[in-house]
Structure 1
Amino acid sequence: MSLEHESAQETGKGAVVSVEDGHRPWSILAVVGIAQMLAMLDSTVVNVALPSIGDDLSVSSQALQWTISGYVLTYGSLLLFGGRLADALGRRLVFLLGVSLFVVASVGAGLASTGAVLVTSRVVQGVGAAVLSASALSIIIATYRSDRQRNIALTVWSGLGVIGATIGVIFGGLVVEYVSWRWVFLANVPIGVVLALAALQAVAPMRREPGSRRLPLRLPSAVAVTFALCCMSYAFIDLQDGADRSRPWGFLVVGAVVLAAIVEYERRSTDPLLPLFLMRIKTFSLACAGMVMAATLLLGSLYLGSNYFQKAGGLTPLETGFALLPLCAGSLVAAFGIPSVAEKIGMPRVYLGGVLVQFLAVVALAAVIWNVGSSVPTGVVIALLGVYGLGLPTMFVPLYTFGAAEIPERHSGTGSGLLNTFNEAGAGIGLAIVAPVAAYIAGTQASGGTPAPSAEAHGIAAGFTVAGACSLIAGLIAVAIVRAFRIAETAGT
């Protein structure tokens, strides 16, 4: 049965009528999938452009880092509120708002004449990305209701997101090499305009059933939660420069205390901003924990792989981008094979297989680089990263499927925002863990007289060892998920 035929047969129940009524679901999926790819691409695309930006705008390396950190900070902090906006004001309206903010900020970044303007534009761009990403996942949850529909839709959506994150380095390298760093940002503009026009055609406005009421925005709670997440996100960013300082830990404690206080306050609310009831559902809470580990592995390993090619292997940024192509290709192949494999063995086992592939790849990378150092043939590292790429979508797609299946349509925006927030938390944790470990080991080796390329290689090997430990934790989560589904199947028979 085609996706269109299935969607046309199903009708929604609950306070909100489905967005797919009278619309072609493949068009909706194309819009939200490309939007997610764009948001994730912009989280990595700037990395290789930083030297060119610094030279052109005469910006210090510390200020330059905020062109990345500013985007990540607002993106991770506002996903939950972006989801609430989608539930309260309508998914299409909020999606269009997010795309519009993203496009305007991209223009500002592309035309920036100072570092301050560039960083400010990137902060606003992160706000737009958070709003469009949360509303996009909300649209998927509300549109595709059967397990098969949702599996296909989430495979495409999350697969495109993973691909966007991995090709960002490649795209950035090509643009900087052959055009200008400004087009790293300006290229978003025509894509964003087309997405907005397509969304107006593909996604219907949200219609409410007679007698239903709009969810309140709960702005005081939203401000408090955003502040808490912002503090914690900043702490993870600051930890990348070392864990021996009090500042990042202070921000982490403040964020955790404020978040704990608002969670306790929200427990007594009839329409809470935080969908705490979801965390009491075992598969959803396990999916959130798995999301943290998956994002930790993704961002941590991308960071380590890029650093190995440039610092230990001596490749240029553009050459590094091309060296990461097999990783992207592996992700692409695995992503679009997931639905058919899941129909045969089940999505929980797909996830378990993805975790196993990730574990084997990062352990092999750690072992080879630690023992051989910077003399490892580049082709070996490229091949192992390609294998690693196979495991990326086979972790993310099942986790989004497990989490989304438990989110009721009325809370599709807030629930998807919560799921994505755990994803972004993992991204911050990944860099906060592997970057200081790699830097410390590299520094220790260099101070002992080890040549710089070999010292960097040993630091990167230590980082991959940490990633291997994270994949073991992900393995425990995967086993728990498989057991939970097995118990549910037994209870249902």
Structure 2
Amino acid sequence: MQRNPWSTLAVIAVAQFMVVLDVTIVNVALPDIQRDLGFSASGLQWVVSAYTLLFGGFLLLGGRAADLLGRRRVFVVGLVLFGLTSLIAGLAQNPEQLVVMRAIQGLSGALLSPAAFAILTVTFKHGRERNIAMGVWGGLAGLGGTLGVIAGGLLVDSLSWRWVFLVNVPIALVLAAIVPLFVGESKITPTGTRTFDVAGALLSTAGLLAIVLGVIRAEPLGWSSVEVIALLAGGVALLAAFVRVESRSAAPLVPLSLFRSRGLSTSIVALALNGAAFLAMFFLTAIFLQQVRGLTALETGLQFLPMGIAAIASAVIASQLVTRFGTKPVQFGGAALSVLGLVLLSGADATGSYALTILPGLVLFGMGIIAVGTPASIAAVADVSHDQAGAASGVVNAGYQVGGALGLAAITTLATSHVEGLVSGGAGQQEALVGGFERGLMIAAVFAAVNIVMALGAPRLRPTSEQLAEAAVAA
């Protein structure tokens, strides 16, 4: 059955739009979720971290499963699971239920996203049409992130926080029903034994979860507690076992030979730091705007909107600049803008003017993170062989997600600890929250500042039009 490739693109792009939307739509609902379900200040971050950790941890396994079992089949499974977990998350009655569903939702995203991207690459041949398709794909992803905060605010204020999850249900079900009409099946035929490297995915994800939990538990228990030390040591041991498994696997999820590429190695660190700074900023600012400045969820979303517009504009400008000057100077400039934006934003208080104390920081940060992400994504795959390009892209995306989860855990734990210290010292609740917000953003600025150093060690490349299209998707 002959299918129109642009109809195929429309279906998979809407699905990817839903997944990206889900990352940002939740942030503006966090204060309502915390109040309704009784989350602790440190536990609330799991609403975000559970999703990003499982998404990043199983992203490569999802791509492998799509290639071997059938891309359309895995795409539909991911859609149905995403819709089901969204339904249960929207009906959750306690923190544990919501966090578990967010984790499984992340797993379903790890099935859906790589399958969708693989469908795109086999539907469009190399050249102008694929570049256009990738541009549409990347543009919708960026639009999803920007509109998520507005949609989340509308749903929370007009209905309830539960609808930021329930809205996914009809979209996922309709897409799953029409996929066979518009998307053809495809998969690769393995030359040897079909292997998925499930052990690698489980070890890496379990190790990262243990480290994140250890960082979070350090706030109430102290870094020297037996539980915290055991979690951190256990996480490191699991990750060491993961490296050992990958080095011996006939078909590893992460070919260790990839890390011989300086561009890939520096890009993974840069994008992980980018993810850490972005998720922490988004999390802390969403809570600050509602709990300190007294905004509604919709007003909070509208205040984030200029950052999204700046990010979209930065994607266009950064692509032009890397073509003219190369990746290295653009990445350096983007990192500097990110630091400046976070430092400016950290000076916001409960009563200051939005235009003077919040808007400049958001705009500069929105421009900076994309100006880091675009050249880093290009450098990551520039000197990787064609047959490993898919694995390299998956490692880069996983690095961004996992870096975001780890950074969010570290930064919010330290910010929460500072708030509790101020309260115990006699400060008022609002004053303490402002202090915690400032501390968290300054730590995020340190993460972003390390990216300036990473830019100095990154290669300087002038990308082709195809590399620019691929970077638009990855960034």
TM-score (norm 1): 0.79
* 8 Å CA contact 2:216, 2:410 repeated in 1: no
- The answer to whether the aligner puts 1:384 opposite 2:364 as a matched pair is no
Deviations 1:335-360 (A, max 9, x none): 34444444333444443332222122
User: 2:116 and 2:385 mapped to 1: Cα distance?
Assistant: 16
Map 1:458-473; keep pairs closer than 5 Å: 458-473=435-450
- The answer to whether the aligner puts 1:400 opposite 2:380 as a matched pair is no
Deviations 1:259-288 (A, max 9, x none): 212312332333223221211211111111
User: 1:159 and 1:240 mapped to 2: Cα distance?
Assistant: 39
User: 2:387 and 2:63 mapped to 1: Cα distance?
Assistant: 11
- The alpha carbon displacement at 1:132 in A equals 1.5
Change (3 A) 1:354 1:155: farther
Deviates more, 1:114-123 or 1:124-133: 114-123
Map 1:64-83; keep pairs closer than 5 Å: 66-83=46-63
Map 1:150-169; keep pairs closer than 5 Å: 157=137, 160-169=140-149
User: 1:360 and 1:402 mapped to 2: Cα distance?
Assistant: 24
* 8 Å CA contact 1:141, 1:412 repeated in 2: no
Change (3 A) 1:297 1:70: closer
- The answer to whether the aligner puts 1:223 opposite 2:223 as a matched pair is no
Q: Tell me what 1:364 maps to.
A: 344
User: 1:200 and 1:27 mapped to 2: Cα distance?
Assistant: 12
- The alpha carbon displacement at 1:64 in A equals 6.7
Counterpart code for 2:245: Y
User: 2:44 and 2:441 mapped to 1: Cα distance?
Assistant: 26
Change (3 A) 1:163 1:256: farther
Q: Tell me what 1:457 maps to.
A: 434
- The answer to whether the aligner puts 1:329 opposite 2:306 as a matched pair is no
* 8 Å CA contact 2:419, 2:433 repeated in 1: yes
* 8 Å CA contact 1:163, 1:331 repeated in 2: no
User: 2:217 and 2:182 mapped to 1: Cα distance?
Assistant: 41
* 8 Å CA contact 2:49, 2:405 repeated in 1: no
Q: Tell me what 1:417 maps to.
A: 394
- Matched residue SS, 1:61: coil
- The alpha carbon displacement at 1:230 in A equals 3.5
- Matched residue SS, 1:267: helix
Deviations 1:384-424 (A, max 9, x none): 21222122322223333333445656556544432222112
* 8 Å CA contact 1:69, 1:237 repeated in 2: no
User: 1:409 and 1:143 mapped to 2: Cα distance?
Assistant: 18
Q: What is the aligned residue count?
A: 460
User: 2:324 and 2:3 mapped to 1: Cα distance?
Assistant: 30
Cα RMSD for the two superposed structures: 3.7
Q: Tell me what 1:244 maps to.
A: 223
Counterpart code for 1:376: G
1:186 to 155, 166, 170: 166
* 8 Å CA contact 1:239, 1:432 repeated in 2: no
- The alpha carbon displacement at 1:301 in A equals 1.3
Q: Tell me what 2:466 maps to.
A: none
Q: Tell me what 2:407 maps to.
A: 430
Deviates more, 1:122-131 or 1:284-293: 122-131
- The alpha carbon displacement at 1:219 in A equals 3.3
User: 1:472 and 1:289 mapped to 2: Cα distance?
Assistant: 12
Q: Tell me what 2:261 maps to.
A: 281
User: 1:241 and 1:162 mapped to 2: Cα distance?
Assistant: 37
Identity of aligned residues (%): 34
Counterpart code for 1:46: V
Counterpart code for 1:377: S
- The alpha carbon displacement at 1:427 in A equals 0.9
Map 1:305-320; keep pairs closer than 5 Å: 305-320=285-300
Counterpart code for 1:335: A
* 8 Å CA contact 2:272, 2:403 repeated in 1: yes
1:60 to 38, 41, 44: 38
Q: Tell me what 1:259 maps to.
A: 239
- The answer to whether the aligner puts 1:177 opposite 2:153 as a matched pair is no
User: 2:329 and 2:122 mapped to 1: Cα distance?
Assistant: 26
* 8 Å CA contact 1:155, 1:338 repeated in 2: no
- Matched residue SS, 1:274: coil
Deviates more, 1:291-300 or 1:217-226: 217-226
Question: Gaps spanning 5+ residues in structure 2: where?
Answer: 463-475
Deviations 1:432-479 (A, max 9, x none): 232133233334444444444333223322222222222221112222
- The alpha carbon displacement at 1:149 in A equals 7.5
TM-score (norm 2): 0.82
